[in-house]
Amino acid sequence: MYLRSSFRILREITARSVFSLFATVQPKGQPAVDAINNYQSLVSLLNTSTQMALAANRKIQDTLTFLPSVDQQEAAVNQSVATSKALQQTIEQLNSSFAASGNGGSAVQKRQTKQIGF
């Protein structure tokens, strides 16, 4: 029984010594622990930032790839509008000369009308 009691007392003394030593050292070691924790947080944040930057770069590249096709489509639309306006002018001229003739138009006007598909 005496031996158990001695071990218990020895454990208590050892525990108190370890706790006392830890309490003394903790304030000195805490900045190092905080630095490690901050570093880990920073690494995580940098990894997230890198992933976001890569995603943004992919979106920019997709947009830059898409832009030339928009320019090509715009050029095709402009060409189509110009062709349509020219055709409209031709039709209006034919209509006005056809109406001005009063007799259904001359043979030349009829040929011109036939050439454009009327």
Which amino acid is located at 114 in the chain?
K
CA-to-CA separations, 18 to 11, 21, 26, 55, 91, in angstroms, rounded = 10, 5, 12, 51, 104
Residues 58, 45: Cα–Cα separation, whole Å: 20
Per-residue pLDDT tens listing for the chain (118 residues): 666 777 788 888 888 888 888 888 888 888 999 999 999 999 999 999 999 999 999 999 998 888 778 888 899 999 999 999 999 999 888 888 777 766 555 556 566 666 665 5
**Helices 107-115 + 2-101 axis angle, to 10:** 160
- Model confidence, pTM: 0.43
